[in-house]
Every structure is written in structure tokens, then in C-alpha cells.
Amino acid sequence: MCGIVGYVGKQKAAAIILEGLKRLEYRGYDSAGVCVLQAGKLDVAKKAGRVEVLVKEAARHKFTGTSGIGHTRWATHGGVTDANAHPHVSSDGKLALIHNGVIENYAGMKKFLAGKGYTFKSETDTEALCNLIAYHYAKEPAPKNGGSRFLESVRKALRHVEGTYGIAVLCADCPDEIVAARKASPLVLGVGDQEYILASDAAAIVSRTQNVVYLKDGELVHITPRAFAISTLDQADVSPVVDTITWKVGDADLNGYAHFMEKEIFEQPQALENTMRGRFAEDGSTAQFGGLNLSAAEFRQIDRLLFCACGSAWHACLVAEHLVESFARVPVEVDYASEFRYRNVPLDRNTLCWVISQSGETIDTLAALREAKRKGHRVLAINNVVGSTIAREADGGVYQHVGPEIGVASTKAFTSQLLLGAMIALYIARMRDMSFSDGVQYVQSLKGAPDLVRTVLKQAPKIRKIAKKYAKHADFLFLGRLSLFPVALEGALKLKEISYIHAEGYPTAEMKHGPIALVSEQCPSVFLVPKGDVFNKIVSSMQEIKARKGPIIAVVTAGSEIPPGVADEVIPIPDCHPAVLPIVATIPVQLLSYYIALERGCDVDKPRNLAKSVTVE
């Protein structure tokens, strides 16, 4: 939540910051602001609304300075107003601050600072921190041994902070300098050619440089025109490690698509190929992973798995549970990360914990990881964003390699997580009871998944027509059984997220125990109908809906015949291996949600009230 950008270099800072904010808008988009240091003054433009609104406002300021900071906000403390937008300037005019996170003890700070004569213009927690830095700056003695009064005042203030932050600070007395710091909110420093660009995410940096330093919790960076130096809250120097971002700026562009969500849905075949690449053993019968940091012998000792995540990633955990239990015969528990962290779950020694998070920054998932580690458990992670906090704090893990996912509603990252869950199930199964030939068949099926997804994507025009027909309905049910129950949950979540339609995902047979009360001509049901043991049972459930005049959209595997007159719409999907089925069945529900949202005129990539990366509790 909230995106932050900072720039120090030879170019005009404002244009670079505004461009960076556009790329970070998925992190929050209710207001935005920029502050440029010019002629010894902190010049701020900030507005409620999208970055486009800020661009117009900034044009009036005619910014020319070569250092500045900018912010795109997802409100936590204080409503969506110009005054609450960041940057905030201290009441003595000396310091400007942008912040991603929550200052939990801001009320006490404000009281203390008000007593010292500092004043406040906003309702935010951030302004309290800004004034606290100003307070320390005013008191800070002249620096000894070439030290920086600016840096030390930020350090002193941060020692009093309870909560989370990614911050960047400008000081009116220090041209071309920024001090930035992080605790639980991401911060990446791009090291360019005679310039530095700081951001919450590499997406805002990659157009200027691919060389980056990922700051760690408790670290501060002091940027000056010629250098940068990293140190800790305890004043210890840190040697920076410069990494290279593997993706390029075009990866985060629309490339002709109308929305990132559309682009990311259609990118899924390639994304799945990238997720699998190099991850099958030479004999073609199992998966292999380079970064688990756990030997095969250690894996064999495990007698229980725990998966934790939030949102779509939690649905991916539920599919992983089904596949691991079915194929590897190892018991699995799935928990919402936000519940796990407070539930005091009893875990035994041979439980292996996994966390799944596209961004690698979701605060609840990070807290779940830390809680499991605190209890002495090994925690592995599935992440997409390389160098993210969760990726760095986990004991090992697997990267998804699907490139940047910008649309707030997860699509390609979700199906890639389903694929990795299926590969983990295979990996463990082959250590236990799965035969060589079943392993080979499983691997061949996974390798065929991208082509099956391509086949389903070809039905987009048909799904669009269905979407048009049902877009005005106010309630939807999504029903699936076994591994497709989580896909039903995901379908309902997608529809809620981007088209604001009330939708519920249920295990098909449970529909009789409550949701059937909603069924009427006005409430369509989306059934996920695979071939197999439960096919006839699902058809019976469909009959029960039909008897109550509920419209039915059925996603049906090839070779299954739904009796005439039962389904109003049929979307066929290819018959496939059970490990691939959840991936293939996800595509129609993604497309349906996307096209319904378009019909309703919704802002697909930036749905109201949501943010892609939830870094506050």
C-alpha cells in the first residue's frame, strides 16, 4: 500500500518521479504528491485523485530541481484529501517526508511535538514522524568527522517509531540529498549513471537502471550527489550488495492491451512456461527446485505441511493442499496468514511451512513467516517479486518468474502458484509412493498446460458474449468441488474485486445449506464441472438450481455431456490431468470477471478500495 519514489541526479527530478509514480499506482491510487527541492525551498504539489491529476498540478509548479520525492497513497490514517496526501512538510519548513506503512505510536508523538510548538495540517500518522525528525534536526549538534546532521536526525527519530515504514526524506538545507529507511515496507535503491532512484518497487526504477540494492529492515540509506551509504539504526555501516533486475521496462507496459489484467490473462501460457523452465529432473519423472535449501533426505522426514497466504495466494494454497494430499499422501493444513500469526497454532517438529505471496511483501504473510520461524520451523516461500522481503527472510523457496504483475486482481501469478503447488505435490509424491511412469505422465501433463490454456483463451469472444448477457446481475454463485472448489472461490473473488458484484464461492454440494436461498432468475450460478466421479452429483446440483429458475453458466471438461436444458451457457475446457485441471478451469472465470467488469464500466486495473500489495495489517 502506497508507492514511494525518490530521485537525486542530474535530470529534472519531477518528471522522473511522476513517471515512477505512474508505475507504482497499483500500490495505491487515492491521492498523490511530489516535493522538489529547489533554491533551498521544499516545493510541494499534492492532490487527492490519481497520478494524472497530480501531473496537471505539478505542471503549474514548473519544477526544475534535481532532487525530489513522490508518493501515491492508499489511505490508512485520515480521509482522502489534498491535506492528507504526501509529501508532508514539517511545520518549520525544513523537512519533507513520504511514507508507506503505519506509525502506530503517532498519537503520543503528536502530543509531545504539539507541546514543543510543532503544528499539524493533516490527520495522518506520517506528519507526526516528519515533525519528529524536524525536532531532532533542530536539536542535532553540528556534525563531527564529516557526519550528517540530516542523517542522524532521521536515525534518532526512527528509534522512537513503533510500526512500519518505508520513508524518504528531503531536507531544505541539504540540496541533492535524500535519507531513506525501511522497516517492513519495501524500499529498493536504483544505482544509475550519476543518479539514484529510490522506490517501493523496481517497476519505478527499471526504466533508468537495472542495478539495484534491496534495503533490509532497520537500514537507512543516505544519498548524496556522488555516493550513497547504508547504515543501521544502531549506526553500523552496511556494505551494499548490488543486484541486477532481470526484467526490462517493456515487461511492465500494456503492449497494446486495454488493461494490465487483460494482458496478464493472455500472458499465462508464457508465464506457465517460465515458471516450469529448468524445473524437471533429467529422467522426466519429477520436479526439481534449486533454492529450497532442504535436502531430499530432509524432505523425506516431513510428515505434515502448512501453507499460509492471503487473497488469491490463499486459494492457491487450497489447491496445493488437495494435490499434495491426493498425490503425495502427506497431510496438509492451510491457514490465512492473518489468522495464523495470532492463532498460536501447535506445530510439530516435522511440519514444513510454506508461505505463498506474489509480491513477497504482504504484511500478514510476512508476519506468519516470522511467527513460524520464531517457533523454530523452517519456512519456504513461493514468490514472484525477486528480492522481496518474504523471499529474503524465508529459509528457501521458489520464484514464480512470471514477470511483473500490475493488475490489482491477480491472474498470471495465481495460475503460476497453482502450477508450483502441483510441482511440489509431484516432488514429494515421487519421494514416496508415486511410480516412475505416473511421474512421467504427470510431468508430461504439466508441460502441456500452456497449450491447454491457449485453447481456453481462444474462447474469449464467446465468454465476452456471456459476460454481456449477465453483467447486470447483482449476485453470483461460483460452485466447484474438490480441487475446483478453490477455483470457485477465486472466481467469486475476481468478480467481487473488479466489478463490485456480490459473489460467493462454495463447494457445490454445500450450496443446499444456505446459498440456495439466494437462487432466483436474478442470481446466476457458475458451475465448474469436471469429468469423473462427482460429475453426476454436480449435474444433480445444477438441476436443483434450475428447478428454482437460477441461470447456469457451466465450465465443462470436454467429453462430458450436460443433459439438455440444464445449463444456459456452456464453456468447454479440455479434459486434462488433475494437476492441470485447476489451472485450465481458472481461465474462464478470469475472463468472465474481466469482461463483466468491462461491461459495467469498472476501472479494471485499479478497483476501488483495493491495493495490490497490502503492507498494512
- Under the rule (CB under 6 A), what is the footprint of ligand G6P? 310-313, 357-359, 362, 365, 408-410, 610, 612-614
Q: Which residue, among 180, 202, 181, 175, has the nearest Cα to 190 in the 3D structure?
A: 202
The rounded distance, in Å, linking the Cα atoms of 309 and 577 is 25
Q: What are the distances in angstroms from CA 107 to CA 123, 153, 184, 426? A: 10, 20, 21, 52
Cell numbers for 71? 508518493
Residue 67 or 164 having the CB closest to ligand G6P: 164
Q: Which residue is nearest to ligand G6P (CB)?
A: 311
Q: 270: how many CB neighbours lie within 10 A of its CB?
A: 15
Is residue 521 packed enough to be buried (19+ CB in 10 Å), middle (13-18) or exposed (0-12)?
Answer: exposed
Strand partners, 72: 3, 32
- Is 612 among the catalytic positions? yes
Residue 126 or 365 having the CB closest to ligand G6P: 365
Residue 178 or 604 having the CB closest to ligand G6P: 604
Residue 268 or 286 having the CB closest to ligand G6P: 268
Residue 38 or 358 having the CB closest to ligand G6P: 358
The rounded distance, in Å, linking the Cα atoms of 258 and 196 is 32
CA 203 to the chain's CA centroid: 13
- Looking at 223-267, list the stretches that DSSP marks H as alpha helix, in order from N- to C-terminal side: 260-266
DSSP one-letter code for 143: P
Report, in Å, the least distance between residue 410 CB and ligand G6P.
Answer: 4
The rounded distance, in Å, linking the Cα atoms of 207 and 531 is 48
Report, in Å, the least distance between residue 379 CB and ligand G6P.
Answer: 14
Strand partners, 100: 166
Report, in Å, the least distance between residue 102 CB and ligand G6P.
Answer: 17
Residue 42 or 408 having the CB closest to ligand G6P: 408
Report, in Å, the least distance between residue 365 CB and ligand G6P.
Answer: 5
Place of cell 508523538: 109
DSSP one-letter code for 87: P
Q: Which residue, among 180, 155, 192, 217, has the nearest Cα to 11 in the 3D structure?
A: 192
Look up residue 208 and give its amino acid. Answer: R
**Residue 34 · residue 45 · CB < 8 Å:** yes
- Choose the catalytic residue: 110, 494, 496, 612: 612
Q: What are the distances in angstroms from CA 174 to CA 35, 55, 398? A: 14, 26, 43
The rounded distance, in Å, linking the Cα atoms of 440 and 458 is 28
- Choose the catalytic residue: 2, 35, 174, 310: 2
User: Which region, left, alpha or beta, applies to residue 482 given φ > 0 means left and ψ of -120 to 50 means alpha?
Assistant: left
Residues assigned a catalytic role: 2, 612
